[in-house]
Amino acid sequence: MNSFQSPHKAFETVHCRKIPTPMDCLLLSFYVSRLNTPTTSFEIRESSKEGAGRGLFSKVDISKGSLIGFEMGPLSLHIHPSAMSTIEAIFDFFPETSDINAVYGYMFGYGYSIYFFVSISLS
């Protein structure tokens, strides 16, 4: 399965030489050229402001335009729309089955698209 997630460099090179250049290649080169602030540079703790509760705080200065947690991107899970439809159909017929409940719950509990944003434009 890893070979599907990380294609061989030769396939990546051929893919990125297409005209016009695919958007994923443009974005990858943009992201790789940015500084990254790893997730280890953050901590979750109580705020010093009264009544503010818990929050995410940086342990280092973050420069403008830096990515945050870019190294976590490959750890994401993609559920193809056709697989999602199949899971939903099975759940509709067998909602009491614990295995499908777990998959369905995970899919809707954590199944959101992740995009990387920076504070500057691509141009």
pLDDT per position as a tens digit, 18-32: 898 887 777 777 667
Average pLDDT score over the chain: 77
Quote the CA–CA distance of 65 and 119 in Å, as a whole number. Answer: 5
* pLDDT above 70 for 46: yes
- Does the pLDDT at position 89 exceed 70? yes
Structure tokens at 23: 């958007």
Residue 5 banded pLDDT, cuts 50, 70, 90: low
96 confidence band (pLDDT: 50, 70, 90): confident
pTM of the entire predicted model: 0.43
Query: What SS3 class is residue 16?
Result: helix
Domain map of the chain by residue range? Answer: 1-33, 76-123
